[in-house]
Amino acid sequence: MKNTTDKFLSIQKLGPVFQALILEKSKVKITVTGNSMYPLLRTGIDEVILKQAKSYKKGDVVFYKRDDGSYILHRIVGKENDAFYLAGDAEIRKEYPIYANQIIGVATDFVSRGKRFSHKNPVYLIYSFLWMLLLPYRQKIIRMYINFRSVLKCWRKLW
């Protein structure tokens, strides 16, 4: 049974609080909302731990603030001059330009499928590298994965 005292606030309300904590060199754990980081992170289930960083590199998952005021968690997929290209793991469209002063924090750890792993984990680094290479094909791969899971689910019911 759910605790009736639990309160859920939108990232728009909590974003400034997270930003202040991260600037004070604290680590912040947030539950992912939205599907843009699927299949790595699932909305409402998986979590990410963020901290401040001095620099950012390709492959980093960063929490940033768009010009319209929205807070987003996406991966750096490229850099040109002083601006970054970012995209969610479930997206093929790159967002550009995003500047370092818009980035609030970088993901150091992930809690996915009940397991915590570091951004330095070798399996994660391989996933990250391959997923960036497959950027143009991501949506097709995700669709195939979802269809495959559906078929497996039906087979399990039959057996």
15 vs 106, higher pLDDT = 106
Residue 4 lies in a domain: no
Instruction: Give the range of the structural domain holding residue 48, as residue numbers without chain letter.
Output: 11-158
Residue 72 lies in a domain: yes
Residue 28 lies in a domain: yes
62 — pLDDT class (breaks 50, 70, 90) = very high
Q: Is the dihedral of CA 31, 33, 37, 40 positive or negative?
A: positive
How high is the pLDDT of residue 92?
Answer: 85
How high is the pLDDT of residue 5?
Answer: 56
Residue 125 lies in a domain: yes
What percent of the chain stands above pLDDT 70?
Answer: 89
CA pair distance 57, 137, nearest whole angstrom? 22
Residue 133 lies in a domain: yes
113 — pLDDT class (breaks 50, 70, 90) = confident
pTM over 0.85? The answer is no
Q: Is the pLDDT of residue 18 over 80?
A: no
CA pair distance 137, 153, nearest whole angstrom? 25
Residue 135 lies in a domain: yes
1 — pLDDT class (breaks 50, 70, 90) = very low
Q: Is the pLDDT of residue 17 over 60?
A: yes
Residue 6 lies in a domain: no
Distance of CA 20 to the CA centre of its chain: 20
Q: Is the pLDDT of residue 63 over 90?
A: yes
Residue 3 lies in a domain: no
How high is the pLDDT of residue 12?
Answer: 66
Domain total for the chain? Answer: 1
Mean pLDDT of the chain: 86
Domain CATH code at residue 115: 2.10.109.10
Contact 89/36 with Cβ under 8 angstroms? yes
Write the DSSP assignment of 17-77 as a string of letters.
Answer: HHHHHHHTT--EEEE--SSTTTTTS-TTT-EEEEE--S---TT-EEEEE-TTS-EEEEEEE
